[in-house]
Amino acid sequence: LKLKLDYEDHKFDVVVSVATFLQGHVGPEAIPELCRILRPGGFICFTVRPQFFEENKQLWLDALAAAGCILVSVDMKPYAVGMDAPVVSAVKGGESSHGFCSFLTCCTRR
């Protein structure tokens, strides 16, 4: 994820990444590339190792914003035995994202 992905721009409706973002592996620098392949109005959802997210929270949020994504939520969810981790969800801005953002906020809060 530190290299350009071999997909055209705006290829996917949804990008999901679980157990990828952790210290020494991949950080917020990969977010712009994931958002590049996301179509306007598309949804991105990913987990981040808790300590890594807290230490770099603003970098994660800035990376999403710089890539044109609107934060929907950051929710703590079960990740491993005895550990909750942030699940970050966002929608890529664009003409088809307006109603979708409200729908996702409702769905991710359950």
Mean pLDDT of 45-53: 95
Write out pLDDT tens, residues 12-45.
Answer: 999 999 989 988 889 999 999 999 999 999 999 9
Q: Which residues lie below 8 Å from residue 54, measured CB to CB, with a gap of 6+?
A: none
Mean pLDDT of 50-68: 96
Q: Where are the beta strands (DSSP E) in the chain?
A: 12-21, 38-48, 69-80, 83-92
Residue 22 β-bridge partners: 26
> How many CB atoms within 10 Å of residue 97?
21
